[in-house]
Amino acid sequence: MKVSCRKKIALNSKKEAILIPVYKNMNSIKHLTGKRIDDEINRIINSDYFNYKTKEIKSFYMEINKKLKKIYLINVPKELEEYRYYMELGNKFAKICRQDNIHSFSVLSFEDLAGEKKDFDHIRSFIEGLHFGLYDFSKYKSKKENFEIEEIEVITSSTKLKKYMDNYAEEIKTLFSCVYSAKDLINSPASDITPETFCRYVAEKIPENVKVTKYDENLLKENNMNLIYTVGSGSINKPRLLILEYNGNPESDNSVALVGKGVTFDTGGTNLKPTGSIETMKTDMSGAASIFAVITALAKTKTKTNAIAYLPLVENCISHSSYKPGDIITSYSGKTVEVLNTDAEGRLIMADALSLAIEKDPEIVIDVATLTGACVVALGSHCAGLISNRKFLAKNITDISYDVSEDIWELPLYEGYTERIKSKVADLQNIGSKKREAGTTMAGLFLREFVDNYPWIHLDIAGTAFLEDEHPIFGTAATGFGIRLLYYFIKKYYTSK
């Protein structure tokens, strides 16, 4: 989908449709639309046809340049709202475009309507919301939908807005191609996405400027990555570890370490998940899919940063070779772990990956995982959990999350609970001794044991990665949550100017 920005009036649009934001008691906007359209808008918004309901969209036809053109009016507040409002508008309008078979349209910028010339992220947020609304996963349907929007034209009177959109239009397109790739991975069935086929998918999609290293089950064993190896030992689809290295700033020794949980299907192991909890466990590799998308986006946009992604990939199944409660495993770090629950497997594979990541002396370690049901209980399905060992990091990423409408909430690394992950027979145990208390914090305390006090952010996306019910921005099924958040976070704080 092409995004363009032009200084013109709506009357001169050559697209199939025109989207014009309006509000109650609005003054004339003929300098933005042209007199004919402005007169028709005033007639309609002062009639009973338009009710000024929140995000109301109504349409009418006008003959323009001897062609019948559809014009949509969308109700917006007079003053610019927070960004998520415009993302929701974008998602809603995407559905209308699909319904009305609109393949190109012009949109009058919200900033022009409000007379705002400083902040241009409202029209950008609308376009990002539109991208979310346009996503369709029809790979496994016999009747596939081929609808797409060919071009969005932003109409403005501002030279600054045109320059802004010209700079970012390609970035938005690239970023969402990566979001879509991750969503496709997460939505696909576990029969198609195993540790090995995940690796093949990455090999097909990854840019040439990213180095790919793959550890198979033999290399994992040889290199003492025993937690990853053991969790994956019960499946015929053997475990893998992918390392993706992007060197976008060769003049710097600094790097960002990214770790994503990749359980391609989670039965719970010997601690088998019950019906009602197991059906969507193909999504337990959402962290790995998200991190793959982030490093791909950094590489495709040639962001001036260095990043290394570590993706531990396993199927947590039951067989004669599965690990069992009571087993004690020596991790890559040398710390021993007593397994008390085989359904707390994500933190095990993440532990080995985190230990490997800090060997490169990164500036920051960021991990993403569908880690705990406790996080969903605490925060629901629209908000991810955040844990960090640095307060400034928690604030910085929370500020970004507000701007991109991907909500996170900081949960504590409560020191008083540290003893609860200490085992009586090993160094650590993989669940807390108080089994129904503070599950997300327990998992965070466990992971912290493997980051050696490096600056660290942990995102628990157990609730946000895959949605059963419709979200006003992300829709249903795989959301791609965290990809935009981490891309913009790294770009802002870990990129050389």
Domain locations along the chain: 2-157, 183-493
Q: Are 315 and 237 in contact, with CB atoms under 8 Å apart?
A: yes
Q: What is the pLDDT of residue 377?
A: 97
Q: How many residues does the chain have?
A: 497
Q: Are 407 and 386 in contact, with CB atoms under 8 Å apart?
A: no
User: Of the candidates 453, 483, 495, 496, which has an alpha carbon nearest to the alpha carbon of residue 258?
Assistant: 483
SS3 of 387, please? strand
What residues have CB less than 8 Å from 379, skipping those under 6 apart? 385, 409, 463
Side chain identity at 460, as an amino acid letter?
D
Strand-pair category, 67-75 with 57-64:
antiparallel
Q: Which two tokens stand for residue 295?
A: 């490093």
- 10-residue block means of pLDDT along the chain (497 residues)? 92 94 91 92 89 92 87 93 95 96 96 83 96 94 88 93 91 97 98 98 97 98 98 98 98 97 98 95 98 98 98 97 97 98 98 98 98 97 98 98 97 96 98 94 98 98 97 97 98 91
Side chain identity at 192, as an amino acid letter?
D
User: Of the candidates 380, 438, 386, 447, which has an alpha carbon nearest to the alpha carbon of residue 414?
Assistant: 438
Side chain identity at 232, as an amino acid letter?
G
**Looking at 401-474, which runs of residues are DSSP E strands?**
408-410, 428-429, 456-460, 466-471
Q: Are 169 and 21 in contact, with CB atoms under 8 Å apart?
A: no
Side chain identity at 403, as an amino acid letter?
D
- Per residue in 384-400, is it b (16+ CB within 10 Å) or e — as a string? bbbbbbeeebbebbbeb
Question: What CA–CA distance (Å, rounded) separates 454 from 448?
Answer: 9
Q: What is the pLDDT of residue 436?
A: 87
Question: What CA–CA distance (Å, rounded) separates 165 from 3?
Answer: 8
Query: Dihedrals φ, ψ of 219, to 5°?
Result: -65, -35
Question: What CA–CA distance (Å, rounded) separates 270 from 272?
Answer: 5
Question: What CA–CA distance (Å, rounded) separates 234 from 149?
Answer: 45
What's domain 183-493's superfamily in CATH?
Zn peptidases (3.40.630.10)
User: Of the candidates 82, 25, 32, which has an alpha carbon nearest to the alpha carbon of residue 50?
Assistant: 25
Report angle CA 60, 61, 62 to the nearest 5 degrees: 130
Question: What CA–CA distance (Å, rounded) separates 258 from 366?
Answer: 5
Query: Dihedrals φ, ψ of 205, to 5°?
Result: -100, -25
Q: Are 117 and 87 in contact, with CB atoms under 8 Å apart?
A: no
What residues have CB less than 8 Å from 35, skipping those under 6 apart? none
Query: Dihedrals φ, ψ of 337, to 5°?
Result: -125, 125
Catalytic residue IDs? 273, 347
On the question of a common fold for 2-157 and 183-493, the answer reads no
Instruction: Quickly name the fold that domain 2-157 has.
Output: Leucine Aminopeptidase, subunit E; domain 1 (3.40.220)
